[in-house]
A and B are shown apart, each in its own frame.
Chain A
């Protein structure tokens, strides 16, 4: 069974970088696509970006200058880095598997809550 687990600091200071790891078990990240989604306080959800089986990436234009998604295939992990964070980046961050053919996310991690505050 595919399982994803996010990890990273729960508190980040404004103007610093947010770095999260998604560890995947039960499936190789060299297949399919792998994405990050966040949920803001108040329920709004935002697709942030994804990395493909080949390492190519695609980002939401609203974040394009601040976001980077990378991977370590030897550890079957992929990563999110979001630079120059503000309090508006406070959210619960989820990693998920994106199914290419159906253009959807089927398996999700449990999420990690990140607060941006000084």
Chain B
């Protein structure tokens, strides 16, 4: 299985600040069709995961432009600027290039 390593595990932030979360895969996530299937989710306390970014850098419907994704191959980053209270929770990366699909271990964004 493809191992997805997320860092950091915990990320203290001040409201209005900017943070980055890293997600690294044990093998390239470039699919034979040329696409890279790396997605980002946020799970807020008491809620189910919600899709933020799909295929590395595309914001899902309704996601504010404070969220941006980048990366290629095995190294990916989620950036959150001007952090707001509703951004707090656990962030996950998911790769769906290789079978079985695998998730990163999660990064908890919390207030300093």
A and B, one complex?
yes
CA distance A110 to B49 in the complex (A): 9
- B100 and A60 contact, CB distance less than 8 A: yes
Q: B5-21 CB contact bits vs A (8 Å, 1 = yes)?
A: 00000000000000000
Question: Which one, A45, A106, A109, contacts B92 given CB within 8 A?
Answer: A45
Question: Which one, A62, A103, A110, contacts B48 given CB within 8 A?
Answer: A110
B49 / chain A contacts, CB cutoff of 8 Å:
45, 94, 105, 108
Kindly state whether residue B96 has any CB partner on chain A within 8 Å.
yes
Kindly state whether residue B76 has any CB partner on chain A within 8 Å.
no
Within residues 70 to 118 of chain A, which ones have a CB less than 8 A from any CB in chain B? 94, 102-106, 108-111
CA distance A103 to B49 in the complex (A): 16
- B90 and A102 contact, CB distance less than 8 A: no
B50 / chain A contacts, CB cutoff of 8 Å:
108
B54 / chain A contacts, CB cutoff of 8 Å:
102, 104
Question: Which one, A47, A103, A105, contacts B51 given CB within 8 A?
Answer: A105
B37 / chain A contacts, CB cutoff of 8 Å:
102-104
CA distance A57 to B103 in the complex (A): 20
- A111 and B96 contact, CB distance less than 8 A: no
CA distance A47 to B95 in the complex (A): 11
Within residues 28 to 85 of chain A, which ones have a CB less than 8 A from any CB in chain B? 43-47, 58, 60-62
Q: B81-112 CB contact bits vs A (8 Å, 1 = yes)?
A: 00000000010101011011111011010000
B94 / chain A contacts, CB cutoff of 8 Å:
45, 104-105
- B106 and A43 contact, CB distance less than 8 A: yes
Q: Can you list 16 A-B pairs, Cβ within 8 angstroms, ordered by A?
A: A43-B90, A45-B94, A45-B103, A46-B103, A47-B100, A47-B102, A58-B99, A102-B54, A103-B97, A103-B101, A104-B37, A105-B49, A106-B51, A108-B48, A109-B48, A110-B48
> What are the 8 tightest A-B residue pairs by CB atom distance, in nearest-first order?
A45-B103, A103-B96, A108-B48, A43-B106, A47-B101, A60-B100, A103-B37, A104-B39
